[in-house]
Amino acid sequence: FLPPLAAGSPGPFFEVRTYTLRPSGLAHILASWEAAIPQRIARSPLTGAMYAIEGDTPRYMHIWPYASLDARFSIRATAVADGVWPPKGGPDHILTMRNAIYVAAPFSPIR
């Protein structure tokens, strides 16, 4: 249900958010994302999302590009205020969240 990863220059700032999920949370996260993602990506593109299931707890990570940190703040605030984000019921299945902002390397195919 996610758009394919493509080379380009959607950044240069990339928000990378990683969640540790409850052991049974991955199916709920995927279902809530599938329902919410069309409205969210209408506001800004999604670089990618992925999950890992090894170990005791599954993890989910998503990467959003932004032209500026001000754009990130504005887009996210509007999506939250409009009830588009976070996906309905998604936070109920999250144990921890880690967030970081990255700038792409000059040689990256996605900048």
CB 74 within 8 A of CB 25: no
Percent of the chain with pLDDT over 90: 78
The whole-model pTM stands at: 0.89
Task: Return d(Cα 70, Cα 34) in angstroms, integer.
Answer: 27
Give the mean model confidence (pLDDT) for residues 44-56. 91
Q: Write the DSSP symbol of residue 5.
A: P
- Residue 97's pLDDT band, with cuts at 50, 70 and 90, is very high
pLDDT at 102 over 80: yes
pLDDT at 1 over 80: no
Mention every residue, 6+ apart, whose C-beta is less than 8 A from residue 83. Answer: none
Average pLDDT of the chain is 92
The pLDDT score that the predictor gives to residue 69 is 96
pLDDT one-digit tens code per residue, 60-82: 999 999 999 999 999 999 999 99
